[in-house]
Every structure is written in structure tokens, then in C-alpha cells.
Amino acid sequence: MSPLRRTPVADRPLSCGEVGKVLQRYLDGHVDELTAEKVAEHLEDCRRCGLELTVYTEIKASLARQSPEIPETALDRLRRFGEQLIDRSPEPEPLDGPPDTEPD
């Protein structure tokens, strides 16, 4: 459901507050057609929201440029560590706690 369909917006421009609530999803392409159209109309006329969109766009582009490549050797060490944890895992204890042991 469009977040804008909760209020009648089909015949009026959106407010900055309404655009602010959906701007990130708009940038990510996760809004319906009516919402996208209304946000685009607002952005054509509103410098403040346009600047906010520019900031979001720059942040998103910056994050995309930072491809976090993990060295294969690190991945191998993590896999081996996980396998060791699985191999060493003790038998699960009963839900009522560890068994009582008597001193020797």
C-alpha cells in the first residue's frame, strides 16, 4: 500500500514532511507509481527536498564505491573456526541444568 494513500493526495501537491517520509524508499525504487509521480513533482519545485535527495544520492553512491572485499584467506580462517566450533560443541545439557556430581 502506498504510504500516500492514507491521506487524499491525488489532487494536491505533497508537503515536505510527506516527501521526507518516503524519500529514501523513492531513491531505492521501493514506492508505487503514484507515490513516485507525486514525489518527483514535489522535487521539481522544492529546493530543500531536492538537496536532501542529492545528499542521499551521494551517500548511496559513496557506499557503492566502497566494495568491501574480504580476503579469501580471512574467509577460510572463519570457515575453519566455525567448523571447529561445531566439532567441539558439547552435548546439550538438560533444561533443568547440569547433572549433579558427587565428590570423590
pLDDT tens digit string along 4-29?
A: 555 566 678 899 999 999 999 999 99
Buried b (16+ CB within 10 A) or exposed e, 67-97: eeeeeeeeeeeeeeeeeeeeeeeeeeeeeee
The stretch 37-64 carries a mean pLDDT of 92
Burial-class residue 9 by CB neighbours within 10 Å (0-12, 13-18, 19+): middle
Give the count of domains, the chain: 1
- pTM of the prediction? 0.55
In a domain, 75, yes or no: no
Domain limits for position 10: 3-65
pLDDT one-digit tens code per residue, 86-95: 777 666 556 6
pLDDT value of position 95: 61
In a domain, 100, yes or no: no
In a domain, 32, yes or no: yes
Q: What percent of the chain stands above pLDDT 70?
A: 74
In a domain, 9, yes or no: yes
Instruction: Say how far apart CA 43 and CA 20 lie, in whole Å.
Output: 11
